[in-house]
């Protein structure tokens, strides 16, 4: 049972193949958080719906066609598990850094963490609550200790890889960010060959190798509070965003407060940046306004505000 359930703020009321949670107090529900996970359901969140049951809010998660980490685990070796772990930490860190979500509202039960067996991408159960009902330190401890128990109970992961991962997870001096970097570095160095995602016919997926990627990753710039859905899939060195269709790559016309050429997203030295192009109403990252003309790094989970419209960054 996860710490989230132990807190008593939500109850597990699952019946059948889809997961369900009941809020003990309807005032706990956060509409903004619900909209975020609904808009980002193709990128790391399990799709859900809010319904009323005897006057209480119930959140139903459509997991029928997902495969849990526990069900995928027997088919993974140590290298494949390392890739899943990297993806899991990246997702948790992205949620923690998001201006609208808190990672403590994740259900970390391993049969409720879902993995695509072909790509090893991770999808998570997030409960949109107004405030965390679990302390961050308790959440991180649950994540670390749970992973250690899972690894030690799975001989197929290999002793060397398992010992390395468990040693780092046990080191409280290492933050989640440091763990993520160490695990990525180990995969990159090629101490052991990372399991390449495969197709159903057993061949590697196109563009996926057994070593770390060096190609430019795609950045998705998607609306959070717009009257119409907007999503720019960016994979070029410079991508200009604004309201004038003749001057920009990504056009936003629903908000007159957004300038004709408002900002640009750059890819430089294997990293994405955003630059405000002297816009009238400013560019903000996680609610902080950035100076015009200066590069500011972007990371997964950042919320960018153009004037008074918010957009999610996914890398």
Q: Is the pLDDT of residue 282 over 70?
A: yes
Q: pLDDT for 161-218, tens place per residue? A: 788 889 999 988 888 989 988 888 877 655 433 333 333 333 433 333 333 334 678 8
Three-class DSSP category at 277: coil
Q: Where are the domains of the chain?
A: 3-61, 69-124+132-189, 219-314
- How many whole angstroms separate alpha carbon 312 and alpha carbon 221? 6
Portion of the chain with pLDDT greater than 70, in percent: 89
**Burial grade of 31 (CB within 10 A; 0-12, 13-18, 19 or more):** exposed
Query: Tell me, what's the pLDDT at 100?
Result: 79
| Among candidate residues 43, 37, 41, the one with its CA nearest the CA of residue 300 | 43
Query: Tell me, what's the pLDDT at 189?
Result: 59
Query: Tell me, what's the pLDDT at 242?
Result: 92
Portion of the chain with pLDDT greater than 90, in percent: 37
The CATH number of the domain covering residues in 219-314: 2.60.200.20
- 133 or 291, which is more confident: 291
Q: What would the mean pLDDT of 35-58 be, rounded to a whole number?
A: 84
Q: pLDDT for 86-113, tens place per residue? A: 999 988 988 887 777 889 999 989 999 9
Q: Is the pLDDT of residue 42 over 60?
A: no
Q: What would the mean pLDDT of 25-37 be, rounded to a whole number?
A: 89
- How many whole angstroms separate alpha carbon 294 and alpha carbon 276? 7
Query: Tell me, what's the pLDDT at 106?
Result: 93
Are 275 and 266 spatial neighbours (Cβ–Cβ below 8 Å)?
A: yes
Structure tokens at 24: 């003990």
Query: Tell me, what's the pLDDT at 306?
Result: 95
How far apart, in Å, are the Cα atoms of 170 and each of 146, 151, 181? 11, 12, 16
Buried b (16+ CB within 10 A) or exposed e, 218-245: ebbbbbbeeeeebbbebeeeebbbbbee
Query: Tell me, what's the pLDDT at 50?
Result: 93
Q: What would the mean pLDDT of 144-160 be, rounded to a whole number?
A: 86
Three-class DSSP category at 266: strand
Query: Tell me, what's the pLDDT at 190?
Result: 52
Query: Tell me, what's the pLDDT at 196?
Result: 38
| Among candidate residues 167, 156, 96, 161, the one with its CA nearest the CA of residue 132 | 96
Mark out the alpha helices in the chain (DSSP H runs): 3-6, 31-39, 69-72, 78-96, 136-152, 159-170, 176-189
Its pTM surpasses 0.75: no
């Amino acid at each position: 049972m996860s710490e989230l359930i132990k807190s008593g703020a939500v109850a597990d009321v699952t019946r059948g193949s889809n997961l369900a949670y009941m809020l003990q107090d309807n005032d706990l529900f956060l509409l903004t958080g619900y909209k975020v996970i609904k808009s980002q359901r193709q990128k790391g969140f399990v799709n859900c719906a809010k319904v009323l049951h005897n006057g209480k809010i119930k959140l139903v998660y459509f997991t029928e066609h997902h495969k849990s980490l526990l069900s995928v685990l027997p088919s993974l070796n140590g290298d494949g598990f390392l890739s899943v772990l990297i993806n899991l930490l990246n997702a948790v860190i992205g949620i923690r850094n998001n201006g609208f979500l808190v990672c403590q509202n994740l259900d970390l039960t391993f049969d409720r963490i879902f993995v695509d067996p072909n790509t090893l991408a991770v999808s998570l159960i997030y409960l949109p609550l107004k405030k965390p009902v679990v302390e961050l330190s308790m959440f991180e401890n649950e994540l670390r200790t749970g992973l250690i128990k899972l690894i030690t109970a799975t001989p197929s992961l290999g002793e060397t890889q398992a010992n390395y991962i468990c040693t780092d997870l046990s080191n409280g001096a290492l933050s989640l960010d440091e763990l993520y970097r160490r695990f990525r570095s180990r995969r990159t160095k090629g101490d052991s060959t990372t399991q390449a995602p495969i197709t159903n016919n057993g061949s590697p997926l196109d563009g996926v190798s057994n070593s770390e990627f060096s190609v430019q990753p795609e950045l998705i710039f998607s609306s959070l509070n717009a009257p119409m859905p907007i999503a720019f899939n960016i994979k070029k060195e410079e991508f200009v965003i604004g309201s004038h269709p003749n001057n920009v790559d990504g056009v936003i016309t629903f908000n007159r407060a957004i300038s004709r050429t408002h900002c640009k997203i750059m890819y430089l030295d294997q990293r994405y940046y955003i630059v405000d192009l002297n816009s009238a109403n400013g560019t903000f990252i996680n609610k902080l306004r950035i100076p015009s003309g200066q590069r500011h790094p972007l990371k997964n989970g950042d919320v960018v505000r153009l004037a008074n419209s918010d957009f999610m960054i996914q890398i």
